[in-house]
Every structure is written in C-alpha cells, then in structure tokens.
C-alpha cells in the first residue's frame, strides 16, 4: 500500500463518519452512555475504597489504665506494647487530655454535662492509644495485650477496648464493597462492549451492500477494511473524549461542592491523582471498542 492510498483510507474513514450521519451518532452515543456509566462507577468504587481505607485506618485499640498506676509502670507497659510487631505507634493520653477530647466529642450540647468535672475530680482513666500497621490484626492484638496484663504483678490494665464486633462488621462490609465493586466494573465493561458492538454491527449490516459493491470492482479485503478501521477508531475516540470531558467536569464540580461540605471528616479521591489514568483508560477502551466493533463485524461480509 502506498502513502496516497493510506491517506485515502484516512480521508474516506473520516468522511464515512459524516456520511453515515445518524448511524454514527447512534454508535457514538452508545459509546458515551456505556463509558459514562463505567467511568462513574469506577469513580464511585475508588471513593468507596478510599473511604473503606480511612475507616480501616481509624480502627485502633484503647488500653485504659488503672487509676493507681505510676509513671514507671506505665512506661514499661508502653514499651512492651510498642515492641510488638503489629503495632505502629503507641501514644499516651493522660486523663486530662481524655476529658478534653470527650468534651469535644459531645459538642456544645454535652458541654453542661461535663462542666462539673475539673482537674481534681476527673473520673476518666489514663489511656494508651495504639495504632496498628494492619487493621485486621486488631482483635488478635487486643487479646495479646490483655494477656500481657497477667505478666505484671500489679495488673496495670483496667480494660482493653477496640470496638469488638463493630470492627469485625466494618471489615466485612468494606471487603464486600470492594468485591462487589470489582464485579460490577467487570460486568459493566463487558456489557458496554456488547452494546457498542451491537450498534456498530447494525450500522455495518446496513452497509453490506456497499461492501459487496466494493468487492465487485475488485477491492481487496485489506482495502475495504482500512476505512472501516479508521471510522471505528474515530467513533471510539469521539465518544470517549466526550465522555472524559463530561466526567472530569462533573467530578470537579462534585469535588468542589463536597470540599465545602464534608470538610475534613472525609475527602474525595482527588481529581489530580486520577484524571490521567481515568482518561487514558476510557479513551483506550473507546478506541478498542470502536475498532473491534467495526473490524470484527465486517469480517463475515468479506468472504465472497
């Protein structure tokens, strides 16, 4: 194939998109719809994942100490726990700070409730806050710390608390969300492939006459295939670029909106971190679907 023929294929492929007006619009629309659903779902899954990660990382163990534990015994205990391989950080929270945090947590409504308690009569115990490397190890680690209590003569630990039950449920839910999300993304991907290839198949069915005429004047299969290939790629490209535009703009708006409302509690996955990957994925998928749809569908009409 010489260069001017290649140019001709590009020209014809591009022209065909316009010549087939509504058929092209139908193909492009179905690509936009499928990729949009897929893109939105990927964003949802990414955010749920991030949320799950944040929730997981907030799982920690609180070790409450007996009121009469002295500083030295407390430091020994703190060191022993710190040495455990599962533990990433141990923070001592004196009861004054605990009261302060408790106040904050209750908010303005609960302020009166704690007003009576001052420095001298603070009812709260001292606490060791233990952060872990891997959230799933929490229940076992908590048991291990309770065991530790027995090795000390004065049994300095009052109580080990990690939200038993709640933590296990949280793990179950986040794991489920991740798996279901993955299955959904895969399913949507396959579904959109079928939807799009079907649309393209219909457009090509309408053009089988065209293909048979090309064959009659002596066009080789390669010659017939090229413009279809270009046309498919172009339709995929247009469809995916429109989708990427809509999704990036929309997500940006949501991010701005959420930033002012959700505050620091939970942050959405930042657009800056994912836009390139997401756009690349959607455009790549669009191209692939467009090309695949058009070349596979003409194959059976080429055998004459």
Partner 1 sequence: MGSDFVIEMQDVWKTYPNGTHALQGVTVKIDRNEFVYVVGPSGAGKSTFMKLIYREEVPTKGQISVNGFNIGKLKHRKIPYVRRNIGVIFQDFRLLPKLTAYENVAFAMEVIEAPKRLIKKRVMEVLDLVGLKNKANSEPSQLSGGEQQRVAIARAIVNNPSVIIADEPTGNLDPETSWGIMQLLDEINFRGTTIVMATHNKDIVNTMRKRVIAIEQGNIVRDQVRGEYGYEF
Shorter beta-carbon distance to partner 1: residue 118 or 220 = 220
Q: Scanning the structure block, which residue is given the tokens 């710190």?
A: 82
Does 25 engage in binding with partner 1 (CB under 8 A)? Answer: no
Give the residue, chosen from 106, 191, 213, 277, that forms a contact with partner 1 under the rule CB under 8 A.
213
Which range, of 35-43, 135-143, 207-215, 288-296, touches partner 1 by CB under 8 A?
207-215
Q: How far is the CB of 234 from partner 1 (least distance, A)?
A: 16
Q: In this chain, which of 215, 242, 246, 250 binds partner 1, going by CB under 8 A?
A: 215
| Residue for token pair 């872990």 | 132
202 binds partner 1 (CB under 8 A): no
> Residue from 2, 150, 260, 272 that binds partner 1 (CB under 8 A)?
2
157: left (phi over 0), alpha (psi -120 to 50) or beta: beta
How deeply is 117 buried, as exposed, middle or buried, from its count of CB atoms within 10 A (0-12, 13-18, 19+)? Answer: middle
Residue 30 CB coordination number (10 Å): 21
Would you count residue 299 as binding partner 1 (CB under 8 A)? Answer: no
- Segment interacting with partner 1, rule: CB under 8 A, options 100-108, 217-225, 232-240, 253-261: 217-225
Q: How far is CA 98 from CA 49, 59, 129, 161, 249, in A?
A: 31, 18, 11, 15, 44
Query: Considering the rule CB under 8 A, would residue 214 count as an interface residue with partner 1?
Result: yes
Under 8 Å between Cβ of 221 and 60: no
Asked if 20 is part of the footprint of partner 1 (rule: CB under 8 A), the reply reads: yes
Nearer to partner 1, 276 or 304 (CB): 304
Nearer to partner 1, 2 or 260 (CB): 2
Judged by CB under 8 A, the stretch of 1-9, 36-44, 231-239, 284-292 that binds partner 1 is 1-9
| C-alpha to C-alpha distance for 252 and 93, rounded to whole angstroms | 40
Nearest CB to partner 1, comparing residues 104 and 208: 208
Closest CB to partner 1 among residues 20, 192: 20
Token pair, residue 226, equals: 């090229």
In the complex, least distance from residue 210 CB atom to partner 1, rounded to whole angstroms: 6
Helix, strand, coil tally for the chain in percent (to 5): 75, 10, 20
Nearer to partner 1, 57 or 212 (CB): 212
Number of H helices, E strands in the chain: 10, 4
d(CA 130, CA 161): 10
Of the candidate residues 55, 219, 288, 296, the single one contacting partner 1 (CB under 8 A): 219
Tokens 């709640």, residue?
A: 166
Q: Is 92 helix (H, G, I), strand (E, B) or coil?
A: strand
| Spatial separation of the C-alpha atoms in residues 51 and 74, rounded to whole Å | 34
304 binds partner 1 per the rule CB under 8 A? yes
Site residues (vs partner 1, CB under 8 A)? 1-2, 4-5, 8, 19-20, 209-210, 213-221, 223, 304
């Amino acid at each position: 194939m010489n260069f001017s023929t290649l140019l001709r294929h590009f020209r014809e492929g591009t022209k065909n998109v316009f010549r087939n007006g509504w058929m092209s619009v139908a193909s492009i629309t179905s690509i936009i719809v499928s990729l949009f659903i897929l893109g939105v779902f990927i964003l949802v899954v990414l955010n749920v994942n991030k949320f799950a990660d944040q929730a997981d990382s907030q799982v920690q163990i609180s070790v409450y100490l007996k009121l009469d534990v002295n500083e030295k015994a407390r430091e020994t205990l703190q060191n022993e726990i710190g040495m455990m391989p599962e533990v990433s950080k141990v923070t001592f929270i004196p009861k004054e700070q605990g009261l302060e945090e408790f106040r904050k947590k209750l908010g303005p409504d609960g302020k009166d409730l704690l007003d009576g308690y001052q420095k001298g009569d603070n009812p709260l115990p001292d606490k060791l806050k233990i952060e872990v490397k891997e959230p799933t190890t929490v229940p076992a680690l908590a048991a291990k710390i309770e065991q530790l209590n027995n090795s000390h003569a004065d049994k300095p630990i009052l109580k080990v608390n990690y939200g038993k039950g709640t933590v296990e449920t949280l793990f179950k839910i986040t794991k489920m969300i991740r798996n279901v999300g993955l299955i959904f993304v895969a399913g949507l991907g396959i579904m959109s492939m079928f939807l799009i290839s079907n649309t393209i198949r219909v457009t090509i069915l309408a053009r089988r006459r065209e293909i048979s005429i090309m064959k009659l004047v002596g066009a080789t299969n390669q010659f017939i295939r090229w413009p279809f290939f270009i046309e498919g790629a172009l339709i995929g490209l247009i469809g995916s670029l429109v989708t990427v535009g809509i999704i990036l703009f929309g997500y940006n708006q949501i991010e701005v909106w959420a930033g002012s409302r959700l505050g620091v509690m939970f942050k959405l996955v930042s657009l800056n971190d994912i836009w390139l990957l997401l756009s690349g994925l959607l455009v790549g998928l669009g191209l692939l679907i467009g090309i695949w749809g058009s070349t596979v569908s003409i194959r059976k009409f080429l055998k004459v």
